[in-house]
Structure formats: structure tokens, C-alpha cells
């Protein structure tokens, strides 16, 4: 049986993703969604998720290929601009090769509307958790502890695992032990409630 938070999130996504389109969009028309911008500023996100390799050695072709393999997820504004909802690391790389006035087109998945605040937050969290918890080969306990504490806890909810947002994204991981087993790291390295 699926967790109630995960079910609610899935229903919201099912409705939101019905009429998505894949489009080539001028890079200069894409801006960070306000919530995403605030989220990135509140935590040193890019440095936390920076790969150990120096992406300064990547070619423009490699970065462009990244944008097809992990396309930007955007919603269109009434003024015809686009707000980035997901794909922050790809966007960050594209900023290095395209100037703001550049006419270059980038591949984007365009949502038919802006997600509600709760769904938007979960989409942002999943976007940044994917490289940290789902794709990194070697993740440290300190990085996991620091990142998850900032992203999933509050004064009202000091436990990562009891957070409704965590339960929406990872309903099967209910304890630090389960998380550490999944990540193949020692429970002694992670300090979470």
C-alpha cells in the first residue's frame, strides 16, 4: 500500500503532466521560478551538488547533450517567458555557455501550467535529491546529513523521515538505517532523526 503523501503527490503529478510538450525554447526566455531561486539561495546548492570533476573541461557539445539527457522542466508565463521548475544543474551548466542575449535554443519539457506550491516544492526537492541520493557513486555521511536536514526539517518537524515531503518522495525509507542501507554507507556516518 502506498503512503498517503506519496499518493497525493502522484495524483497531482498525473494531473499536471497530462499535456506536457517537448519544445526548443530560446535560452534567454528562461528564468528561475521564484521558489526555486529562493531555495537555491537559502542553501549553497550548486556547491553541495558539484561533481568532483571540473565541468570547465567539458565541451559545449557535451553540455548540450546533457540538456537533452536531462531536459529543463519549465512552465510558461502569461508574458511568454518560461520559469524553470526542474533541471537546475543542467540550467547552471547552460548558463556557462549561453549569454543572456543569446538566441540559442535549448530542449525543454513545458508544463501546461505552474504546479501548485506543494507540488512545486516536491519537484524541486526531487530534482536536487536525484544526483545526491540516486546517482552519486560516492556520497559522504556529512553531505547526506547536512543536505537532508536543511531540505526536510523545520522547527515544527525536526525529523527528516517524518516529513510529509520526504514521505512523498521516499515512502519506503522510514529510518536512518534504511537510508544508509540504500546508499551503502555506514549508519555511523549519518546523523539524522
Q: Spell out the domain ranges in the chain.
A: 17-115, 137-189
Residue 155's pLDDT is what?
A: 87
Are 163 and 153 within 8 A, CB to CB? yes
What are the start-end ranges of the E strands in the chain? 21-26, 30-32, 72-76, 82-86, 105-111
Query: Which grid cell sits at 173?
Result: 525509507
Are 47 and 128 within 8 A, CB to CB? no
Residue 46's pLDDT is what?
A: 59
- Below-70 pLDDT ranges, the chain: 1-2, 43-58, 99-101, 136-138
CA angle 5, 119, 29 (to 5 degrees): 165
Cβ neighbours, 10 Å, residue 30:
20
Residue 53's pLDDT is what?
A: 43
* Chain segment 134-180, per-residue pLDDT in tens: 776 567 888 889 889 988 988 898 999 999 889 888 888 899 999 88
* DSSP code at position 134: I
For residue 24, which of 104, 136, 98 has the smallest C-alpha distance? 104
For residue 167, which of 133, 134, 122, 124 has the smallest C-alpha distance? 122
Are 74 and 36 within 8 A, CB to CB? no
Amino acid at each position: 500500500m502506498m503512503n498517503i503523501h506519496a499518493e497525493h503527490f502522484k495524483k497531482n503529478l498525473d494531473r499536471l503532466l497530462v499535456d506536457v510538450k517537448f519544445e526548443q525554447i530560446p535560452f534567454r526566455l528562461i528564468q528561475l521560478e521564484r521558489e526555486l531561486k529562493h531555495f537555491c539561495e537559502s542553501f549553497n546548492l550548486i556547491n553541495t551538488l558539484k561533481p568532483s570533476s571540473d565541468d570547465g573541461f567539458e565541451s559545449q557539445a557535451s553540455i548540450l547533450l546533457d540538456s537533452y539527457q536531462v531536459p529543463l522542466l519549465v512552465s510558461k508565463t502569461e508574458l511568454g517567458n518560461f520559469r524553470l521548475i526542474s533541471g537546475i544543474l543542467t540550467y547552471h551548466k547552460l548558463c556557462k555557455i549561453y549569454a543572456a542575449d543569446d538566441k540559442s535554443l535549448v530542449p525543454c519539457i513545458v508544463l501546461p501550467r505552474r504546479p501548485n506550491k506543494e507540488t512545486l516544492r516536491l519537484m524541486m526537492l526531487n530534482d536536487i535529491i536525484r544526483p545526491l541520493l540516486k546517482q552519486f557513486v560516492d556520497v559522504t555521511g556529512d553531505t547526506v546529513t547536512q543536505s537532508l536536514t536543511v531540505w526536510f526539517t523545520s522547527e515544527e518537524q525536526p525529523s527528516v523521515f517524518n516529513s510529509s515531503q520526504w514521505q512523498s518522495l521516499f515512502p519506503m525509507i522510514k529510518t536512518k538505517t534504511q537510508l544508509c542501507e540504500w546508499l551503502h554507507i555506514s549508519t555511523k556516518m549519518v546523523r539524522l532523526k
